[in-house]
Amino acid sequence: MRQARHRLTVTVVGAGVIGLWQAYEFARRGHRVLVCEAAPEKATGAASRLAGAMLAPYCEAETAPALVTELGLRSLVHWRELMPTLSTRGTLVVTCRRDEAELFHFARRTTGHLSIGLGDLSALESELSQRFGRALYYGDEGHVPPRLALSLLIDRLRSLGAELRFSQPVSGPLWLAAGAGELVIDCRGMAAQCNLAGLRGVAGEMAVLHAPGVRLSRPIRLLHPRAPVYIVPWGDGTYMVGATMLESAAVGGMSLRSALELLGSATVVHQGFAGAQVVEMSTGIRPAYDDNLPKVVWRGRCLSVNGAYRHGFLLAPALAEMVADHLEMGTVLPPELTEYKRRTGTMA
């Protein structure tokens, strides 16, 4: 890691996955870093705490532009450096026999996979082989337990000498908060909506199940025409089941219909989930722009990094590296990440 020639004073507002990676990248380059977070330490990262935290650059290409795959692959390298024990067992995509056309379409829209039959499937996840005869295997993908990853980033920041202030909301216009020689990076997620034209919320309902009798070691995505679901092992017999995609920024409880669909689909993947204990049911709001790509927006000495949509974990390290390179060396950011394009036009 190169050391900065000019030491900046950087204040990061918001300790979700985007803010913590920004802070970590600047701190490890030798800059002076302060993180201010509205929530207490154990509750940081409004959307980030609820993410499956799949690092799935290939699977996400089914609906995301190529830039997401490119940046996601870069991020995987950084995640591996941060967490050498990171699980990179890949992702399995499965479907019920009657929906096998879905598997074919998913394969056509993505790369980085192998089409596998029963033998390979039972070698990878023996408990799935009674239900599914074939699957797509994305062997280079990974996942992190999100709450552990946020805590690890906080620990690393402290060990690098960064100052972290929790239960400390920053109010007022952030672009007026930075003095000469200082930089503010606004990573407030949905809380910044009032200051960012075009930022919208996409709600995601999720459940956490404790199912010690189920043994799955990698994220499983079930393709289904009405109730697709993914299941992510979070460790210690705990699984995250997610997630709906609702065009809404309203934080509320999970609807009964979503609960039935998500949990019903989980039992389609593995019957053992029928006996699981439901530990948590929550709704997180993904901050997103119209094109579902994050944006880096300047206002005075304040830089906003937001709109990571369903890719905050996948993109946070690459975004942090790009922002730090941009500030230190003047490297140009990809235009897709700096311009907010409405479907009908372009605005700065």
Ligand X SMILES: Cc1cc2nc3c(=O)[nH]c(=O)nc-3n(C[C@H](O)[C@H](O)[C@H](O)COP(=O)(O)OP(=O)(O)OC[C@H]3O[C@@H](n4cnc5c(N)ncnc54)[C@H](O)[C@@H]3O)c2cc1C
Binding site residues, ligand X, CB under 6 A: 13-19, 36-39, 44-48, 50-54, 169-170, 187-191, 204, 206, 242-243, 284, 286-287, 306, 308-314
Q: Which is nearer to ligand X, 4 or 82 (CB)?
A: 82
Structure tokens at 150: 């946020």
Contact call for residues 305 and 25 (beta carbons, < 8 A): no
Q: What Rg, from alpha-carbon coordinates, does the chain have?
A: 20
- Our CB check for ligand X shows the closer of 52 and 272 to be 52
3-state class of 320 per DSSP? helix
Q: If you search the block for the tokens 């999970």, which residue do you land on?
A: 254
Pairing of strands 9-13, 114-116: unpaired
Residue 21 or 273 with smaller CB distance to ligand X: 21
Q: Write phi, then psi, for 296 (nearest 5 degrees).
A: -110, 115
66: CB partners within 8 A, 6+ apart: none
CA distance readout (Å), 273 to 200, 212, 216, 224, 265: 33, 9, 11, 18, 10
Instruction: Between 112 and 189, name the residue whose CB sits nearer to ligand X.
Output: 189
* Nearest distance in Å: CB 287, ligand X: 5
| 3-class SS of residue 16 | coil
Which has the closest alpha carbon to 153: 24, 291, 54? 24
Q: Closer CB to ligand X, residue 95 or residue 283?
A: 283
Q: Which C-beta is closer to ligand X: that of 135 or that of 288? A: 288
- Shortest Å distance, C-beta 122 to ligand X: 26
Beta carbon of residue 51, minimum distance to ligand X (angstroms, whole number): 3
In the complex, the smallest distance separating the C-beta of residue 48 from ligand X, rounded to whole angstroms, is 3
